[in-house]
Chain A
Amino acid sequence: MSDITHPAGFRPATTEHPLTRWLLVGFAVLAMGLLVFAPLVAVFAEALRDGVTAALASLGNPDAQAAIRLTLAIAAIAVPLNAAFGIAAAWFITKFDFRGKAVLITLIDLPFSVSPVVAGLCIVLMFGANSALGGWLVAQGYPVVFALPGIVLATMFVTFPFVARELIPVMVEQGRAEEEAALTLGASGWRTFWTVTLPNIRWALLYGVLLCNARAMGEFGAVAVVSGKIRGQTATMPITIEMLYNEYLSVAAFSLAAVLSVLALVTLLFKTVLELRHADQLAATHRH
């Protein structure tokens, strides 16, 4: 287990007894097996219970297709917006000194500690048909709740801090010297951003976008509250999974779940590759 072999009878002062080591590794592997690996296997096993054809057929169902399209559309709107926000917020916070910076960071982090259901509730109360703003919007023909805009807003709420969170520590570490150099050399603000800042933060940005995307496609609680669960219209993939599951259409539910699981696995693969290749350009601590 240790990478260096030691003469018999000698145990370095900085390792545990081999038995302790095996027990700790055993506990970690067992817990991860029961909690993480087994459920992942279960998703695919349940999806393929009646064979590949049945699974693929259930994905070809119009409602499933609509759900996939809706989820992709939501991610396509919410993720770029949050990425733009993340870049702007990280720039504002790391390139300028102002009062209330700590408060601003806390507010940006706020969605991490708010229950997704409460997030959805907030959107419903603000834009719902019986609120002043929501009523007016419905009258104009632009309903927010039980429609795409509400789902996008709810998704943006829960994924709000992801990109900013990854960028801020990296940009703090890199300081302002390179941008200052570019400015003294006569580069414009935009040019400085595109040619100096962006190349330095691109991996952290990609990392944040990946996490944001995974969460955006998989969000359930907040979306469940605002979507109204109209089949074929406002039912996202996770919502459709719930509806199919409650109707005992197990294969269909797990087939859709398997698609989202593949997405999660791809996200993790990217993340692992990024961490191996570009560890120096990612934040040292990861919190979500």
Chain B
Amino acid sequence: MHIEIDGISKHFASTAALHPVSLSIPSGALVALLGPSGSGKTTLLRILGGLEFPTAGRVLFDGQDATGLSVQDRRAGVVFQSYALFRHMTVFNNIAYGLNARPRATRPAKAEIARRVTKLLDLIQLPDIGARYPSQLSGGQRQRVALARALAIEPRMLLLDEPFGALDAMVRKELRQGLRDIHDETGLTTVFVTHDQEEAMELADLVVVMSMGRIEQVGRPADIRARPATSFVRDFITA
């Protein structure tokens, strides 16, 4: 799905988290929103997911205005920084949650839900953990379960907030490849937020460098590295 961000701004009380920003994300791209904390990258991601409402501007999904679309109806697969797994549910029920939450008319049959959950567990290469609770999983396993849960609703796009932030260096490298593989397999337009320039450069097709609520530069990793548009970008990517 093609995402068009058209003049989006966001004010909290009197401070501006986002100055009007515009961005076009081609269908099927893997995009990194890169910037230090306070750069507005997470706010932009939350606006895409319908968790924040922009003060001004529009969001278009495949050319259709989705600005006023409720979170529930957006079908954005969101992976939160803390993963936000439901601790009182098994991994199986976590992944099945979105399907079970549908109104009866559109809810798949039990067997179909089980089939889809099993398939997703295979996709994240953790086929045997369905009966466990989140507290019994490692950090990396939790991240993959959160990803599977987001994928279960057959999302139109995948939004990830610092998906590797809570993991140690070894696991981080491994899961980067995992995300790349899942992106390539599903073909979903994927946006992830990171403050780690190496992660952004290595993983993304398109990197959006942000600072203080503004987009500093948009480009392929190699182009940004070769031709940083501003002194901020130069400093940030060499830091």
A–B contact, 8 Å CB criterion (strictly below): yes
Q: Is the CB of A7 within 8 A of B51?
A: no
Q: What B residues does A12 contact at CB under 8 A?
A: 51-52
Q: A13: which of B12, B13, B51, B68 is its contact (CB, 8 Å)?
A: B51
Binary contact readout B67-94 vs A (1 if CB under 8 angstroms, 0 otherwise): 0100100000000000000000000000
Q: What A residues does B52 contact at CB under 8 A?
A: 12
Q: Is the CB of B51 within 8 A of A6?
A: no
Q: What A residues does B13 contact at CB under 8 A?
A: 4
Main secondary structure of the interface of A (DSSP, over half): loop
- Chain A CB within 8 A of B186 CB: no
- Chain B CB within 8 A of A9 CB: yes
A-B contact count (CB 8 A): 13
A interface size (C-beta, 8 A) = 7
Main secondary structure of the interface of B (DSSP, over half): loop
A13 to B76, CA, bound (A): 14
A12 to B13, CA, bound (A): 16
Q: What B residues does A9 contact at CB under 8 A?
A: 68
Chain B: interface size category: under 10
Q: What A residues does B55 contact at CB under 8 A?
A: 7
Shortest distance between the CB of B73 and any CB in chain A (Å) = 12
Q: What B residues does A10 contact at CB under 8 A?
A: 53, 68
Binary contact readout A8-20 vs B (1 if CB under 8 angstroms, 0 otherwise): 0110110000000
A279 to B98, CA, bound (A): 38
Q: What A residues does B71 contact at CB under 8 A?
A: 13
A13 to B50, CA, bound (A): 9
A4 to B71, CA, bound (A): 19
Sample of 6 further A-B pairs with CB below 8 A, known A7-B55, A13-B50, A13-B51: A4-B12, A4-B13, A7-B53, A9-B68, A12-B51, A12-B52
Report which A residues bind B (CB closer than 8 A): 4, 6-7, 9-10, 12-13
* 7 pairs, A vs B, C-beta closer than 8 Å: A4-B12, A4-B13, A6-B53, A10-B68, A13-B50, A13-B51, A13-B71
